[in-house]
Structures are given as structure tokens and as C-alpha cells.
Structure 1
Amino acid sequence: MYITQGLHRHLQARPNATAIRFQGRSITYAEFAERVARLAGALRKRGVASGDRVAMLSVNSQRYIEYYQAVPWADAVLNPVNIRWSAAEIVYSLDDSETTVLIVDDTFLELGKRVIEQAQTLRTLIYAGDGETPKGMLNYEELIRHAAPIEDARRGGDRLLGIFYTGGTTGFPKGVMLSHSNVAFAALACLNAGVYGPDSAFLHVMPMFHLADFAAMTSLFFSGGTHVVLPGFNPAVVLETIASERINEVLLAPTMIQMLLDCRDANPSLAELDLSCIRTIGYGASPITPALLNRALQAFPAAGFSQGYGMTELAPMACMLGREFHGDEHHASGKMYSAGRPAVCVEVRIVDPDDREVPRGTVGEIVVRGPNVMLGYLNKPEATAEALRGGWMHTGDGGYMDEDGFVYVCDRLKDMIVSGGENIYSAEVETAIASHPAVAQCAVIGIPCDKWGETVHAVIIRKPGADLCSETIVAHCRERIAGYKCPRSVEFREALPLSSVGKVLKTELRDPFWQGRKRGIA
């Protein structure tokens, strides 16, 4: 399998179908393929050889989608850059991967210039903006205009597709090496679950450097739908675009769903928009609380919801919870709040610290085996061996499996709180807190305690105008979870630190409390 297969299929069968809509412009599959072949030709003409790494530092755009197809078309390797990183982290990833080409847009031009001054392996810089081309850089559109199209190298199978860096919040990031087969499998797993089709109008609002969006993009190319692109996530713009472009598929992180609902509730004009076109809202990248999921189901009664659970190392799919499990029956059984069952061809187990499978209902580490599992971490053989020991990807997530094979994620093992010898899963406490009607968002961490080792600390954002105190939160939790799990301290903030895809950065919340002290959970 190779990642450009979908483009070839629809270039042959539906060349005049709309491939992309971006900033008021549409482009057909035939026009898109011509640009991809020319960009690939330009890369080869500029010395990009088989296996060379090509990076992109940009917001979402039509050009980003062209990059994802043109680089493997040229027999090269992708290296999409995390737009939230510092210059030092970006330079590390470029040098670690020996990236030779960097494509940068207007948004990150100044950051790109700082990176260019420090990176050791870059030899070609491409400006993918709409202004004047900076000195020393090549112009993206000029390259396409003057390059001859080349034949697709059809790089595929177990050959390296891309290096997708993960982490970076607790040290330098790790480069996850994914093959064409890894990502193609994840795309096919989505199609097998009934997500995406040739009539899909999919809205790209997740950042395109993130594998969740790339996997959805690949599924859409395989099925032949239309990519509708927004540069980034703005809740009002997203709602307006869904209505005006008649979007029927979208992938969102839970925090994005919450911001959409809050924005809609606060703006009567947005609440009146016709959003009946939405048929599937996919969610993932971080856990969703039952309170938020139920609110979303009520706000979009005509939409089907589906969840994907996984991580970059799993390309990124391990489990899926389809729309058929988002109803009253599975609300009552609790399965609606699970991560779903393993995707096709994927095996999942729950194991103890000695990698022995534990009985159903027992919490352990979630491990995964299948065609989705990464090739390894770039230049990190010890970390690769540790993660893939025994042939299973060790996710670092704690969870359990019920008798029907549904997986329930309790917590990241590193986020588990150990207090007085008891294991407390922050996700369980967060679910209890989030069920309070005055809570907009929350995060739970462990902070040091001389007596108990750690105690539960809650960080909460109140809903606008809400009157909420710590005593009320603790009392609310005591009605829902055991006393030892309830917060011992509460703080209220205006915002939580979030990653580019809406994950709460708990490391940033914990750091001030643990400076100069060693935490029991790594």
C-alpha cells in the first residue's frame, strides 16, 4: 500500500470531482494531482533524493495537503512540524531527522527564519506564503509553475512514510517512524467503521501537522470525499463554515467541542444556524467527560458521534466506538463512555507490570499489536525496545476491558495519583467534577504531601457567571466517588494550558508544585 493510492483512484474515476475547497476557491482531483506531480518534480529537481526528509511549518491550507501527497510522490519522507514548539524544539527535530528541506508559510515565517539560522542539515528553504519571497528562499508557486510533473514513485509498504514527532513537554521530542502501511491501515479502519465516503464534505480544523488529521485526510483520499480547509480553529468560524459549506463530517478534540457549544450558547445568531447537514462528529486526541458528551449529543441530535482511541505510535488508531454505541441503551450500560473495541486487525490487551494479561475488569496497562504499530523511534533504539517489548506497543495508558471487549481508559499511568498507597485515576475525579453544572473545564493532578505522598488537586474553570467555591466541589465529589479520591485542594483559573489539539498539559500544571522534589510517578 502507498499513501497516494487514493489520489490515483479518483484521478482516474472522478477527475472533475472537487478535491479541496479553501478560502473561497475549489480545486478538482485532476488539478490537484497536476500540482502534486509538479511539486514532486520541483523537489527532485532541487536535489531531494529517495528517503530525504521534507518538513513543513504551516497552518492548515491547500498547500499542506499538497505537501502530504507530493513528498511521498517524490519518494521522500514527511516531517510535519508541530506549530506549538519553540525554535529550539523545531531545530532539534530537523537535525535529529536530518531534514534537508523546510517549507514555511506566512504565519511562521519569522519563527522559520530563526530555525533556519540554527538548523544544521537544511539546504533548501521554500516560502509557501502569499507575500514577497524572502531572500535565500524559493517560492512555492514558482516552483510548481516551472517544474515538469513527474511520475509517482509509489513509495509504499513498510518503507518509511514520515517521522511524526511526539512529546516535547518533558524534554526533547521523539520521532515516531510510521510506514505507508501503518497509516494506510488506520485510514482503512475508519472506512471499515463506516466513517467517510465519496459524498463526504470533511472540515479540517484539527492542526494538519497532527496525525489525527493526517489519518482522516488519508481516509478521505481513499474514499474520494471533499476536503474543506480552515487555517485553524475558531469556534464561531467553524459553526458558520459548517452551515455555509454544508459540512457533513468533522473531527474535533473534546475541548474544541466544548468551545463550539459555549460559543453557540453565547451567540443567538450562531444558535440559529442550520447545522442539520452534520452527520458525523468524530472525537478523540484526549478523553471526553460524560457531561460534555451528553451535552454534545443534545446539541447535535441529528449527528452520529464516533470516537477513535490511539496515539501517534499507533498511526494513530487502536480502538473505535461507532455511532451505534452513542444511544440510550449504551448510555445505560456505560459502553458509550468507553474507548470502544479494537479496530479491525488490531489486538489489544490489558497487562500487569510483568506483561501478563489481567482478568477482565482489572486495571492495567493497555498494550496493542497490529499493522498500525510504528516502526520505532528514530535514533532511539532503547526507547523503541522498551515501548515494543514482546511485540506489543506499550501505550502508557491505564485501563481495563469488559467482558464484551470494550476498552475503558482510566488515566495516563504517569498521571495516576498515588495517595497513601491508593491508586487514584485523575480521569475518574475529573468526571465527577465535570458533572457539576457550574464547571466549564477541569483538570486533576497529584501534588506533594509529606504524609500521604500525593494528594488530589483540582484546577477548575467556572462557567461564565457561575458562583462556585472549593467546598461545593468537594461536597459534590463526595456524593459520586470515594472520599480518598476527592480533591484536597482546589484552584480556579481562567484557562488551562492546552496542546495544539486540545490536550490539557498536566506537566505544566504539576511543575510548580514539584520543583525540587521527586515524583513517584514518572
Structure 2
Amino acid sequence: MYLTQGLHRALQRDPARVALRHLQAGGDRHWTFAQFADRVGRQAAALRARGVGRGDRVALLAPNDDALITLLNACWWLGAVACPLNVRWSVPELRFAVADCQARLLVADAQFAAQAAALADLGPIASCEDIAAEGQALEPLEDTRTGGDALAAILYTGGTTGRSKGVMLTHANFWTASMTRGAELNNSPDSVSLLVAPLFHVAGLGRLVGQSIVAGACVTLPQFRAEVVLAAIEQHGITDIVVVPTMLQALLEAPGFDAARLQSLNRIAFGAAPMPPDLLDRALAAWPQAEFFQAYGLTETAGAVCINLPANHRPAPGSDARTLGRLRSVGRAGLGAEIRVVDESGRELPRGEVGEIVVRGPMVTQGYWRLPEVTASAFHEGWFRTGDGGRMDDEGFLFIADRLKDMIITGGENVYSAEVEAALRSHPAVTDAAVIGVPDARWGEAVHAVVVLSKAADLDPATAGDALKAWCRGQLAGFKCPRGISFTDALPLSAAGKVLKTVLRAAHPK
């Protein structure tokens, strides 16, 4: 199991087919499988000429484009470890990651030249253009076919709550995570995947790996812009995409949205945040032929370990998935993955009780780079502790309650913010909501909601808070209802589309 195997298979099957297309202003770039493999081999040679060898880390600072995908594959071709960096990070955050992974080389896109220059004291630097030009003057390197338990990538967690951790993922981790998804949902080699989720996050990188394994085509965009994504779907016959709910909403509400021109899209994966049922229903109506599914996984599992299949999303005669509440489930354990819900001692809890979700399987990380004690504490008797709270029903369907660190303890009662957020989002005037715990002299913590109102909302801002509190009281126990509600035009989001609750908590220091 090595991550360049799919490229070799594509060269045998259809070398003249377009493998990769990058969309940009001023003209697209595209490469056939034969051209792409040649570029990968030459850039692997260029990396080796700069002193990169097997097992060396190569830090990559670039947007989603053909250059980054070529460099990722060149690292794997050479046997090096790719360390894609978050392009939104500040120089201090970049400095930490580059120094921590002990990068042999930092390769940066030209638009990040200033940030790269500020890191010059950490080691050699090259631009993406340099590596491409140098590769053209060299003979392609023979693929080392490095795979199995060899490291393929180190992905850094967000670092928003203390020290950022480098998650070590092997070729086998990525391969088996892709097989977990592929066993549930066939991934056709004729598919065309739009890579707009960042490749420095596991959702984007995992989708690239899955598409590469089956020799499917990829189209890249450097950032999500609804009108550009819609144009790409129409013009390039995009068949599948990975989104978070905020992205899906932006697509449906984009000016000039015309579902009839977007029917090539037949598979839509979503995750990272709860999907409001009304938003899902709008999307199901827009793409009646498409399969919608929710995936649950972590950086530490190289992608999804749990999939809620399309049948549990679309209303159908004789289907009881919605009446059983499975629309809010993340599905059942995928091929090769074992999942349990346990108490603090690691004992499996009875079905229906909320505890910590733990995972075991060949897709689970080897651990955290240069953090043996943190790695040891993340595992219990071979099970990886996800830090997510959840419950499992009698048929093995998993339901996420909350990140354990996001659980609010008010007056001795546990409140899961996801449950309160779901109640708020069910109000027709609410576009989005995030719930946090804030200090409270009497209760220890109080439930506080930050809400985004719909532009079409007819609520009076002066009384909207009271109206939403009353709405919640009709759905939740009193202790779960927000004691305070504030309003904002938009929630702060990470590059992966997750709400940055650390930013919200900063306004209410403990």
C-alpha cells in the first residue's frame, strides 16, 4: 500500500486522460496522467538534488493547486514525508510547525514568499516554481514505492488551544481510510472530484488520496467562492465534492443559482459541523439524483471511520431512517474500524448512554510527532481516545453529542452544545448558531448562544433574544436553554469550516 500506486495504475489504463486541472483567472492548467507522472518524477528528482531523502520532512506552503498536488506526490515518490501547512497561519504559527517537524526543506508558493523569507533561519527554502523549473532539467526519478508503515504526512492540528500537535499518518493509514469509504460507497474512476476543501486538512487530503487510488480526475480551486464553485461544477462536469454546511448554504443562496445546470454532481459528502435539516432538504431538492452522506473522522484517523449512508438522508417510502432520528447520526463503523463509547475508565457503556468515543483500526495514527507522552495518553489499551462525546443506539448507529471540551457543566448538569445549537437552528429566523459556556457565579457556567439571523428574518433585534429563548424552552429542558444570546453577522470559522469556539470564548474569559 503506497500512495503513488494509483498513478501507476492510471498510466497503464488511460495515460492520455486528464488527471488534474487547476482553475485560475487568466486560463486553466491541466495535465494528463502521463504528463502528471512525468512532472512528479522530475520534481522528486529536484527534491533529491536539494538533499531530501527518504523519511525527510518537506514543509509545503501553498494553496490548493496543481503545484501542491504535484509536490505531495513527489514527496511520496521519493519516500519523503509531506507536511502541508495551513496557509492562514501567522508567521509564528508557521515557524513552530516548520521547526517542530524539522523540515529538510520548505517549499512555498510565490504568494507566500514573504512568510517563507521570515523562516529562512530554520533551513533551506525553495519556491514551487524553483522545484518545477529544476525538475525540467533532470531525468525523472524512479519511484521508490515507499509505503506501508512509512510516514506519508504530518498534519498539524489547529493549535487554537495551546501547543499544536503534528499527527503522524502513514501510507497504510491513508490507504485503509480510503478503503473504509470506498467499501461503503463505490468511487468510480470516471469521477471528477472538486478539491476545494484545504489540502492541509485531512478532509481535503483524504479525498485527494481516495481519488488517486482509483485513478479518478481532480479539479482544484485555491479557495471556496460560491459562484466560482458553481461555474466549475457546470463547466467541468464535477461529480463529487466535500463540503461543510456553511459551504452548501452559500451554494444554494448564490445569485443566479440554477440547479438544472449542475446535475453532473451526483455525490455530496459533508461533515465537520451539524447539518440543519431544512438546509439538507433544500439541497436534496436541488440535486434529486445525488447521493448525500455524512462522514465522521478525525485527522488522527486519516479520514472517515463512520459513514451515514445516502439511504438515511433522502425521504423514501417505507424508510424509517428519519423517524428513528438517524438523520442526525454519523452512521455506523466503516470497514476495518471499531468504535466504542466508553466511560472515564475505558469501560464500554450501555447503548444510549453518552461517553467518550474511542476508535481502533489500521487507519488510526501512529501518534503525535515528537510527543511520546501525549501519544501515550491519547490511547487506552489500543483504543484511540477521540475527545468526542457520543452515544450509540442498539443497531450501532453513532450520534455525536459534543467535543468533551465543549461540554458545559451548569449547576451540576451536563449540557452538550450541539443539542442546543440544533434547537436554535431549527428556528426559521436562524441561519447559524454556536453555543459556549461562560462564567457564572451561581451555576459555575451558563449556557450562552451566539446567533446569526437570516437576512430575511422578521424578528425585532431588540426582542429576538427573548423569542429564541422561548423557542428553546419549547424543545429543551430549562437548564439547557441559553441564559444569554448575542448576535453576529457571521461566526468565526477555521479553514476547515469549523466554528472557532476559542474565539467566542475569548470574549468571555473565565
- The CA distance in 1 between the partners of 2:362 and 2:304, in whole Å, is 10
- The CA distance in 2 between the partners of 1:226 and 1:341, in whole Å, is 29
Give the aligned partner of residue 46 of structure 2. 42
Encode CA deviations 1:447-487: one digit per residue, 9 max, x unaligned: 11110111110101111142331011111111111121111
RMSD: 1.3
Q: Is 1:493 the counterpart of 2:484 in the alignment?
A: no
Encode CA deviations 1:319-377: one digit per residue, 9 max, x unaligned: 11121221223222211220111110100000001110000000000000000110010
Unpaired stretches in structure 2, ≥5 consecutive residues: none
Give the aligned partner of residue 436 of structure 1. 427
Q: Pick from 371, 375, 378: which aligns with 2:369?
A: 378
Q: Which amino acid aligns with 2:454?
A: K
- The CA distance in 2 between the partners of 1:412 and 1:288, in whole Å, is 16
Q: Which moved more, 1:18-27 or 1:269-278?
A: 269-278
SS state at 1:173 partner: coil
Aligned residues of 1:496 and 1:504 also touching (Cα < 8 A) = yes
TM-score (norm 2): 0.95
Aligned residues of 2:106 and 2:126 also touching (Cα < 8 A) = yes
Encode CA deviations 1:41-77: one digit per residue, 9 max, x unaligned: 1111111122111111111101111112110111111
Identity across the alignment (%): 45
Deviation at 1:273?
5.5
Give the aligned partner of residue 154 of structure 2. 163
Alignment of 1:11-22 (within 5 A): 11-22=11-22
Q: Pick from 190, 209, 212: which aligns with 1:199?
A: 190
Give the aligned partner of residue 506 of structure 1. 501
Aligned residues of 1:89 and 1:172 also touching (Cα < 8 A) = no
Give the aligned partner of residue 393 of structure 2. 402
Give the aligned partner of residue 283 of structure 1. 270
Aligned residues of 1:240 and 1:270 also touching (Cα < 8 A) = no
Encode CA deviations 1:253-290: one digit per residue, 9 max, x unaligned: 12211222222xxx2x2336611111000112333233
Alignment of 1:5-404 (within 5 A): 5-23=5-23, 24-117=28-121, 120=122, 122-123=123-124, 125-128=125-128, 139-263=130-254, 267=255, 269-271=256-258, 274-328=261-315, 329=319, 330-404=321-395
Q: Which moved more, 1:360-369 or 1:79-88?
A: 79-88
- The CA distance in 1 between the partners of 2:439 and 2:232, in whole Å, is 46
Deviation at 1:26?
2.4
Deviation at 1:294?
2.7
Deviation at 1:84?
1.8
Off by >3 Å, runs of 4+ in structure 1? none
Unpaired stretches in structure 1, ≥5 consecutive residues: 130-138, 518-522
Q: Which amino acid aligns with 2:324?
A: S
Q: Which amino acid aligns with 2:63?
A: V
Encode CA deviations 1:370-417: one digit per residue, 9 max, x unaligned: 001100101111110111121111000000001110100010000011
Q: Which amino acid aligns with 1:6?
A: G
- The CA distance in 2 between the partners of 1:356 and 1:509, in whole Å, is 34
- The CA distance in 2 between the partners of 1:5 and 1:447, in whole Å, is 50
Deviation at 1:115?
2.7
Encode CA deviations 1:177-204: one digit per residue, 9 max, x unaligned: 1111001111122221224211101111
Aligned residues of 1:327 and 1:336 also touching (Cα < 8 A) = no
Q: Matched residue pairs, number?
A: 498
Aligned residues of 1:282 and 1:308 also touching (Cα < 8 A) = yes
Q: Which amino acid aligns with 1:512?
A: A
SS state at 2:506 partner: helix
Deviation at 1:127?
1.4
- The CA distance in 1 between the partners of 2:493 and 2:355, in whole Å, is 27
TM-score (norm 1): 0.93
Q: Which amino acid aligns with 2:447?
A: V
- The CA distance in 2 between the partners of 1:493 and 1:209, in whole Å, is 28
